[in-house]
Amino acid sequence: MIGSDAVTGDGGWLGGPAGSGSAGGGGLSAGRDNESQQLWEAADERYRAVLDSLAEIVFELDANLRFRFLSAAWERVMGVPAHVALGHRADELGIPAAHAAIAEELGRLVDGEADQASFELPAVIGGESGWLDMRVTAQRDPDGRFTGASGVMTDVSDRRRTEERLARLALHDPLTGLPNRSLLCDRVAQAMARSRRSQEIVAVLFIDLDHFKVLNDSLGHDAGDEVLAAVAARLAGSVRSTETVARVGGDEFVVVAEGLAEAEEALSIAARVHELLLEPVHVAGIEHLVAASIGVVTVAPGELRSANDLLAEADLAMYRAKERGRGRVEVFQEELRARAADRMSTEAALRRAIDGGELEVFYQPVIALGTGAVQGAEALVRWRHPERGLIPPALFVPTAEETGLIAPMTAFVLSRALRDFAGLEGLSVAVNISARQLIDLRFPDDVAAMIAASGIDASRVTLEITETAVLADPEASLVVLHRLRDQGLTLALDDFGTGYSALAHLQQLPVGCVKIDRSFVDGITASATDRALVQAVAGLASALNLRLVAEGVESEAQAAVLRTMDCPSAQGFLYAKPLPFDEFLAFVEAHEARRAA
């Protein structure tokens, strides 16, 4: 077979440029006449053309492992002419890392340990670092001595790069490019190992963006992703060489810092993170203020802790920061573990309560101070716990707000109240709503649907909000409040006088009613200051054409003072406590009967 002769032959076209082979191949050409010599050379060129058309680099090595043939693919793939490599060994390709692999793999062919080898080696391909796959077969003389080798090389750089990218993806978060949880755990373990030697402190900071879920739900996931990517870039841009920043969950980031001399240094890192977030993030043409709650845990040098334990503790501390009003830092303490267990059982119980019908709605009458007529009621939620009895909202509304259960809870109270009052012409009903609803852009539509389903006229519906809730995110809240008001219902500012108590808010917010907090009504008969404040609010409300309700009226004396101030409405134990619906109906009937008498 000519081909195999040619490949294994001593010389021929494998020795170099076509034709030059005859010089070293005297034995082969000597026995040929001119015609066969011509045929041979023609075949030589044809086979060469075939080899040159292959995408793989076909090569031959001499007994000293020097290239003595390279097909045209060499130049196409490597970007350098073949004659530059001919006469050189493969390990002279210019990549030190390739030397060992080549020496080892080809060495086994030379030593007779193997007849074939197949391996990948780093190479400079077209001026860039890449990878070649080399498959090579030994050639031996009849005594088994190594005379050379032949084989093919393929450019596998693209495949290697894809593999490397996939390996990277397994350890990095695709959205932000930051290390993911598994790489982070690795880094934490390494940091702790180093801290044992250096006697320095390691700190883990768990960072959770405040109200991110609401932003994501209302603006859409793309905008949410943009915010996350922007925050990630800021964090990544600010870390020092002794710190790692990772993304471990939706809106959760972790910074691991090592080499701290004192645990307090962790707090300055937390302060730095807060400062980074002060600058608003621009997404979808809107400025977003992104705040974060941060939990911190530090490890003394030599302390043996698992990365997962540390993350869990930092997470608990972060949760504490959320509970204490967000936008702040808390350091992990043992007691947090017990509290977490507590909260989880409350959450689970509350979820069962909502699904299992343990929530009830009570109604406290609102009375017209001038005529004494019942104007309507405020709906107040109660939890009838199978063992603990009736639980007031102060003990479970905060948990509902923290866990997101506030949404189904509000939906329950609202739809029940609207249905109860739909048939009570002439009476209005007020329902309390939380900060969460104020930044949920779908909430107004939900309310509209509930109003429509109940058949109540929107003008008889009031939603109570607090200034504190509005101030958590004024921009989003204003959008929601305007959409609610445009449906024809009334918005009331609850607990007025507490919290920020800015009179200016009365003008800026689309509210139609103000409720003066019980604490001022309480002092109205004894304190001149409280009296002055209530008087001022009453004057302003009347000037701005707002309805006014005094909360927590417990005595006839308080009611009398309020009447002198032209306060139109009142609510309090003087008239009635919050009552179950049937008792409320009975109260209205008895109250109106008494007035008529």
Site residues (CB under 6 A) for ligand C2E?
364, 380-381, 392-394, 397, 410, 413, 432-434, 464, 494-495, 518, 551-554, 571-573, 578
Nearer to ligand C2E, 88 or 577 (CB): 577
Binding segment for Mg ion among 105-113, 349-357, 407-415, 464-472 (CB under 5 A)? 464-472
Q: Is 494 in the site for Mg ion (CB under 5 A)?
A: yes
Q: Which does 573 bind (CB under 5 to 8 A by kind): Mg ion, ligand C2E, none?
A: ligand C2E
Binding segment for Mg ion among 174-182, 261-269, 459-467, 479-487 (CB under 5 A)? 459-467
Count Cα neighbours of 470 within 13 Å in the Cβ-side half-sphere.
Answer: 25
Size of the site for Mg ion (CB under 5 A): 5
Report in angstroms how near the CB of residue 467 gets to ligand C2E at its nearest. Answer: 12
Q: CB pairs under 8 A, 24+ apart, for 469-473?
A: 469/433, 469/434, 469/435, 469/438, 470/438, 470/505, 470/509, 471/500, 472/211, 472/435, 472/438, 472/439, 473/211, 473/214, 473/289, 473/435, 473/438, 473/439
For residue 8, CA distances in Å to 68, 105, 150, 323, 469 come to: 12, 21, 9, 80, 86
Tokens standing for residue 371: 């005529």
Closest by CA position to 206, among listed 251, 170, 172: 251
Report in angstroms how near the CB of residue 357 gets to Mg ion at its nearest. Answer: 23
Q: How far apart are CA 445 and CA 480, in angstroms?
A: 10
| Helix, strand, coil % in the chain, rounded to nearest 5 | 50, 25, 25
Report in angstroms how near the CB of residue 363 gets to Mg ion at its nearest. Answer: 12
Binding segment for Mg ion among 56-64, 351-359, 408-416, 543-551 (CB under 5 A)? 543-551
Q: Which of 226, 315, 420, 495 contacts Mg ion by CB under 5 A?
A: 495
Q: Count the neighbouring beta carbons within 10 Å of the beta carbon of residue 120.
A: 16
Nearer to ligand C2E, 95 or 366 (CB): 366
Nearer to Mg ion, 467 or 551 (CB): 551
Binding segment for Mg ion among 243-251, 303-311, 494-502, 528-536 (CB under 5 A)? 494-502
Pair 195, 202: CB distance under 8 Å: yes
Q: Is 216 in the site for Mg ion (CB under 5 A)?
A: no
Residue 23 carries which side chain, given as an amino acid letter? Answer: A
Q: How far apart are CA 137 and CA 149, in angstroms?
A: 5
Q: Which of 346, 375, 432, 490 contacts Mg ion by CB under 5 A?
A: 432
Nearer to ligand C2E, 247 or 518 (CB): 518
Binding segment for Mg ion among 66-74, 85-93, 159-167, 492-500 (CB under 5 A)? 492-500
Binding segment for Mg ion among 68-76, 107-115, 181-189, 486-494 (CB under 5 A)? 486-494
Q: What is the DSSP string of 493-508?
A: EEEETBTT--HHHHHH
- Helix, strand or coil for residue 430? strand
Report in angstroms how near the CB of residue 429 gets to ligand C2E at its nearest. Answer: 12
Nearer to ligand C2E, 59 or 363 (CB): 363
Three-point CA angle 257, 258, 259, nearest 5°: 135
Nearer to ligand C2E, 7 or 367 (CB): 367
Q: How far apart are CA 288 and CA 275, in angstroms?
A: 15
Q: Which does 552 bind (CB under 5 to 8 A by kind): ligand C2E, Mg ion, none?
A: ligand C2E
Q: Which does 298 bind (CB under 5 to 8 A by kind): ligand C2E, Mg ion, none?
A: none
Report in angstroms how near the CB of residue 397 gets to ligand C2E at its nearest. Answer: 5
- In this structure, the dihedral spanned by the alpha carbons of residues 506, 508, 509 and 514, taken in order and rounded to 10 degrees, is 10
Nearer to Mg ion, 314 or 369 (CB): 369
Q: Which does 44 bind (CB under 5 to 8 A by kind): Mg ion, ligand C2E, none?
A: none
Q: Are strands 547-550 and 569-570 parallel, antiparallel or unpaired?
A: parallel
Report in angstroms how near the CB of residue 258 gets to ligand C2E at its nearest. Answer: 44
For residue 232, CA distances in Å to 178, 183, 216, 295 come to: 7, 16, 16, 18
Nearer to ligand C2E, 176 or 434 (CB): 434
Q: Which does 394 bind (CB under 5 to 8 A by kind): Mg ion, ligand C2E, none?
A: ligand C2E
b/e map 275-290, b = 16+ CB within 10 Å: eebeeebebeeeebeb
Nearer to ligand C2E, 139 or 466 (CB): 466
Q: How far apart are CA 595 and CA 375, in angstroms?
A: 14
Q: Which of 208, 440, 464, 530 contacts Mg ion by CB under 5 A?
A: 464
Nearer to ligand C2E, 210 or 495 (CB): 495
Nearer to ligand C2E, 60 or 464 (CB): 464
**Burial zone of 535 (CB within 10 Å; 0-12 exposed, 13-18 middle, 19+ buried):** middle
Report in angstroms how near the CB of residue 379 gets to Mg ion at its nearest. Answer: 9
Q: Which positions lie near Mg ion, rule CB under 5 A?
A: 432, 464, 494-495, 551
